[in-house]
Structure 1
Amino acid sequence: MPLTDAKVRNTKPSERPQKLADGQGLYLEVRPTGSKLWRYRYRIAGKENIFAIGEYPTMSLAGARTEHDKARALVKQGIHPAHHRQAERLVNRTANANTFEALAREWIDKKAPGWTPYYLRQVERFLAADVFPHIGKLPIRNVTAAHLLEIIRRVEARGAETVALLIRQWSSAIFRYAVATLRADHDPAAALKGAIHRPKVEHRKPLTREQIVQFIKALDEYGGYRATVIALRLMLLTFVRTVELRKAEWHEFDLERAEWRIPAEKMKMRQPHIVPLSRQAIELLQELHTFTGGRALLFPNLRNPNTCMTSTTLNRALERMGFSGKGSIGFSAHGFRATASTLLNEMGYRSDVIERQLAHTERNKVRASYNQAQYLDERKVMMQVWADLIDELTK
C-alpha cells in the first residue's frame, strides 16, 4: 500500500532500521538515529542497486516520487541514476567555473597583446562598470539576449550610446570565443545588432586659414604653462594624434636627422610611424628640452612627473582660448589632423602622401611597406612647406 504524508511523518525510529515501501522500488528507510532516507531499489543487467534519492523532511513524499520517476526513466535506458547525478554535478561545476566574467577576462588576455593600452583600459573599465555587476557571476550558457538588452538599454539611457554599442560588440566577441572553445552554444548578442541607435558621427572641425591666424594669436597671448603652448604648436605642425604627442619620449627624436620615430606600441594601428620634423618644430623641441630634457617624457604630468600630460590638458587650454566649449567653433586637439588634411589637399599634395603622414593604415600590406619608404622624401618636403605656410599666415 502506498505511503501517506501522515505515515511518513508519524513513523518513529526503533532499535532496528525500518523500510516503508511506497511501490515500484521506492521506499523510506527509518534509522534508529531518527534519520528518514528515501531509497530506490532497481536492477540493471540482473544486478540489484540502491539509489539514494534524498532525506525527509528536506525532500517530501511528493518530491521523492518525482525524483523516483526520473530515476526509473534512466534505469529503463540502462543508465544508473547515481552516475547520471555525478555527470550533472560535473556539468554544473564546469558551468559555474565558466562564468561570463571568467570567459570575458580570458578573452581579454588573449586579445590584449594586439590592443593599445588605452583600448585595453577602455574594455576593462566599461565591462567592469556596466556588465560584470549584472551578469558576471552567471554561467555563460545562462546569459540570454534579454540580459544583454537590459544592460545596453541602461547604458543607452544615460546618454552613452557609443558605449552601449561597444558593450554589445565586446559581448558578441566574448560569446564567439566561448563557442569556439566549446563553453557556449551560440552568441545571444548577435540578435541585438541594431537594437541601439548609432549616434551620428561628428567629424572633427578643421580650422580655416583665418582661424589658424586667430589660433596662433590666441596662443601667443595664452597665460598658461609654456609646455602646453609648445604642445599645441607641435600638434599644429606635426598633426599627430593627441595621445602620440602626450606619450612622446626624448629617445624617439633625432633632431640632427629631423625625424621623430614613434614605436608601434604607441600607434593606434600598431605600426611604427615616422614624423619628419620641420625647422620650426625642431626649434620648439630645442626650447622644450630646456624644460623637460632631463626626463624621459617630453610632456610629464605636473603632479606626477613619471606619467605623461593628461588627455584633457590640451582641450582645456583650447577652451580657455575660446576655441572649444559653449559658444565656440567646437574645435578640439584632434582637429589639427583634419586641419592639415584639408589644407594640404587644397594645396595639391597627393592623398597617398597625406594619408601616410596621418598614419592611416594601408590595407594592402605590400603597398603599405612600399608607401612608407617611397613617400618619406615627399613627406619631408610637405611638412616643411606646411610649417612655412603657418608662418606666412601669421606674419
Structure 2
Amino acid sequence: MARLAKPLSETEIKNAKAKDKEYNLADGAGLQLRVKPHGSKLWLLNYVNPITKKRQNLSIGAYPDISLADARKLSQEARTLVALDIDPKQHKAEQLAAKAALTEHTFEKVAIQWFETKKESITKNHADSTWRSFKLHLLPALGKTPISQMTAPMVIKILRPVEAKGSLETVKRLSQRINEVMIYAVNTGLIHANPISGIKSVFKKPRKEHLAALKPNELSELMQAIANASIKKVTRFLIEWQLHTMTRPNEAAAARWDEINFDDRLWLIPAEKMKMRRDHVIPLTDQTIALLEAIKPLTGHREYIFPADRNPKTHCNVQTANAALNRMGLKGRTTAHGLRSLASTTLNEQGFDADLIETALAHIDKNQIRSAYNRTDYLQRRRVMMSWWSEYIMDASSGNFSLANNLKHLKVVGE
C-alpha cells in the first residue's frame, strides 16, 4: 500500500529554502511544490493522462500568487477532469487559447494578416484601394470584434447604410473582401466555419453596366478631339500611347523607360504592375516607336515616360487621361479604360483571333485547364495584329489628328 504524503503547512512552505538542485515537497494526491535553485516555488499536479495513461505534470501556478488552499482547490478540479477522461493540461491550453482569441484574434488583426498575403497577388493600386475600404467602412465598427464572435447580422447592419446610399458595387466588394478574411480565419484554424458566407444575398444587386466606350466608327471623332484639345503635351502622348498599346490606365501611366526594349521593339511590363500579376509583353509598332522617339527629348531623362507635373520623379496620375477625355466633351461616352473596349470591339469585328485579342488585353483565360496548357503569348502573330491596329488608328486620324502620324503638326497648349 502506497505511503500517504503528510499534507504541507503554510509555515513549511514559507520556510522551504532553495538548494543547489530543485526539489519537490509533496502535499498528497499528486499535488507538489517544486522549489527552484533560485528560490522560486511552483505548484505542480502529477497525474496519469486519461488518454495516453502516461504520467505528466500540470503547472498550477507560482507560490505565493497561488496559496496552498487555492492550489488544493485547483488540483481537485484537475483531478475531476481526469476522472471524466479529460486531460487537464489540454483543457487548460484550450481555455487560454479561447481567452487569447478575444484580444489577439480581433477582426482587424486577422484582416491585417490576410491583407499581407493578399497584396502579394494584386497591384499596389488595387491593394491601396482595398485597405482604404477596410479603414473607411469595416474597421471602425468591427476592428476590435473577436473573429470568433463575428456574425452575419453584425456585418449586415454595418453595410446597410452603404447600400442605402446606392453604393451597391461598394457593398458587393466589401462583402467579398470580408468573406475572404473569414475564409482566411477558417483556413488558419482561428474559427471552425464562416458565419457570414451568405450575406451578399440580403443586399440589392448592382446593375451590370458596361464601361462607356466609343464605337469603332467613332474613332476618327476621338482622334480629332485629341488633336484639338487644350491639354498638355505629355497627356496627349499618354492617351495615344494607351490607345495603341491597349493597356489599362494605370499600366500606361506608370510606363518606365527601362521597360522599353528598342532593339526588340517590346514593352516589358513586370508582373507586380499587372492586374493579373503576370509579366506582360507588348509588341511595339512603328507608330508607338514614333511616339516614344517624339516624347524622349521631353522625358527621356526621367524614370517614367509620363512623369507627373508636380513631382516628375513619379508618374502622372492614373486619372489624367480620364480627366482629359472629360474636358474634350467625351464624358459619358468613353473613359480611358473604354479605349481598351474600343480596340477589342474593332479587332473582333475585323476577325482577328479572339485568343490574340485577349492576350493583348492581358486577360486570363477563364478556362483554367486551357490556360494551364496554353502558355504562349503569340508574340509574332500579335505583332501583325498590333501593327494593323496602329495603322487603323492612323487611317482614322485623317492625316493630321495623330501624334504618331504627323508629329510636326502637333498643336500644344498649356505646356
Letter in 2 for 1:278: T
Distance 1:145 1:75 in 2: 40
Match of 1:36 in 2: none
Change beyond 3 A, Cα 1:182–1:392: closer
Change beyond 3 A, Cα 1:255–1:74: closer
- Give 1:256 deviation, angstroms: 3.1
Q: Do 2:223 and 2:396's aligned partners in 1 also have CA atoms closer than 8 Å?
A: no
Match of 2:309 in 1: 302
- Give 1:218 deviation, angstroms: 1.3
Q: Deviations over 1:341-395 (max 9, x none)?
A: 111111121111111111111333443313x1xx211111111111112222222
- Give 1:294 deviation, angstroms: 0.4
Change beyond 3 A, Cα 1:140–1:278: same
User: Of 204, 207, 210, which aligns to 1:203?
Assistant: 210
Match of 2:50 in 1: none
- Answer yes or no: is 1:369 the counterpart of 2:375: yes
Change beyond 3 A, Cα 1:291–1:138: same
Give me the TM-score of the superposition, normalised by structure 1: 0.75
Distance 1:85 1:258 in 2: 66
- SS, match of residue 190 in structure 1: coil
Any stretches of 5+ residues in structure 1 without a counterpart?
1-48, 53-71
- Answer yes or no: is 1:215 the counterpart of 2:219: no
Change beyond 3 A, Cα 1:196–1:171: same
Change beyond 3 A, Cα 1:184–1:90: closer
- Give 1:323 deviation, angstroms: 0.7
Match of 1:103 in 2: 110
Higher RCO, 1 or 2 (CA under 8 Å, sep at least 6)? 2
Distance 1:85 1:344 in 2: 67
The percent of aligned pairs where both chains have the same amino acid is: 32
- Answer yes or no: is 1:318 the counterpart of 2:321: no
- Answer yes or no: is 1:170 the counterpart of 2:177: yes
Q: Do 2:213 and 2:335's aligned partners in 1 also have CA atoms closer than 8 Å?
A: no
Q: Deviations over 1:307-345 (max 9, x none)?
A: 211122111100110011xxxx52100111111111111
Letter in 2 for 1:340: A
Any stretches of 5+ residues in structure 2 without a counterpart?
1-67, 399-415
Match of 2:336 in 1: 333
Letter in 1 for 2:374: A
Distance 2:266 2:79 in 1: 79
- SS, match of residue 330 in structure 2: coil
Q: Do 1:248 and 1:297's aligned partners in 2 also have CA atoms closer than 8 Å?
A: yes
- Give 1:276 deviation, angstroms: 1.2
Q: Do 1:206 and 1:342's aligned partners in 2 also have CA atoms closer than 8 Å?
A: no
Change beyond 3 A, Cα 1:368–1:118: farther
Matches within 5 A, 1:238-253: 238-253=245-260
Match of 2:46 in 1: none
Distance 1:217 1:100 in 2: 53
Aligned length: 323
Query: How big is the alpha-carbon RMSD for the aligned residues of Structure 1 and Structure 2?
Result: 2.8
Q: Do 1:218 and 1:321's aligned partners in 2 also have CA atoms closer than 8 Å?
A: yes
- Answer yes or no: is 1:228 the counterpart of 2:235: yes
Match of 2:295 in 1: 288
- SS, match of residue 261 in structure 1: strand
Match of 1:385 in 2: 388
Q: Do 2:256 and 2:303's aligned partners in 1 also have CA atoms closer than 8 Å?
A: yes
Distance 2:243 2:79 in 1: 79
